[in-house]
Every structure is written in C-alpha cells, then in structure tokens.
Amino acid sequence: MEEYKLDLPNETIFPGLFILPDQRRILVEGNEIYLTHHEFDMMLFLARHPGQVFTREQLYEAVWDDIPVSVDAKVECMVYSIRKILRAYTDRQYIQTVWGVGYKFDPRT
C-alpha cells in the first residue's frame, strides 16, 4: 500500500467537494464541513485514491497511529460519521462500501 504523504498536491477537487489539506478544510457544495482529526485524515486519504478499494485494516493503518483494538468497529463508525455529516449538504456519498472488502472513494456517487 502506498504510504500516506502530506506533500501531495495542495488541493483535491471533485464535483461538489473541495479539500484544502494545508488548511485542513473541506467544502461540500460550497459549505464548510467540520470533521475530527481522524475523520479529515480518512476523507483526504480516500479522496487521494479515487476508485481504489481499501480494507478496514488498510484504512486504520493510514489514519491511526496506535495499535488497533477493534479495527472494524472504529473504521465503520468513522465512515458512518463522515457520511452523516456529508448528508447535511449533499446527496452524494463519496465513500462507497465494497461488501466483503472495505471502502472506496467514488466522486460520481
């Protein structure tokens, strides 16, 4: 798996979604949303790898620094929280579940 790096391009742009990593800001349909540190890191990581499917373990390793206790529950809770925040501003989900595998970022949905 490619290591997560903060020296990638400064902006990540998709239809209705604008991510400014240097400012740790996300705009959805022109509205700023507020995510926790880990929620922001997960959204940015997925958005920088559109279409690529990641297991829960891979997502956990990309976002958290500690040793996992319950990887599945932590990642699922984080994805649920991000989706809930996004729903307040858009019908797009962006984060898709790939049953039996994990999650992927799909800007078309």
Write out the chain in H/E/C secondary structure: CCCCCCCCCCCEEECCEEEEHHHCEEEECCEEECCCHHHHHHHHHHHCCCCCCEEHHHHHHHHCCCCCCCHHHHHHHHHHHHHHHHHCCCCCCCEEEECCCEEEECCCC
Architecture per CATH, 12-105: Orthogonal Bundle (1.10)
Task: List CB contacts of 43: < 8 A, sequence separation 6 or more.
Answer: 19, 26, 35, 82, 94, 95
Q: Where are the domains of the chain?
A: 12-105
For 82-107, write each residue's pLDDT tens digit: 999 999 999 998 999 999 999 999 98
The confidence score (pLDDT) of residue 66 equals 75
| pLDDT for res 7 | 47
Burial of 89 (0-12, 13-18, 19+ CB in 10 A): middle
The pLDDT value recorded for residue 4 is: 43
Is the pTM higher than 0.75? yes
Q: What is the pLDDT of residues 33-66, one digit of tens each?
A: 999 999 999 999 999 999 999 999 999 989 988 7
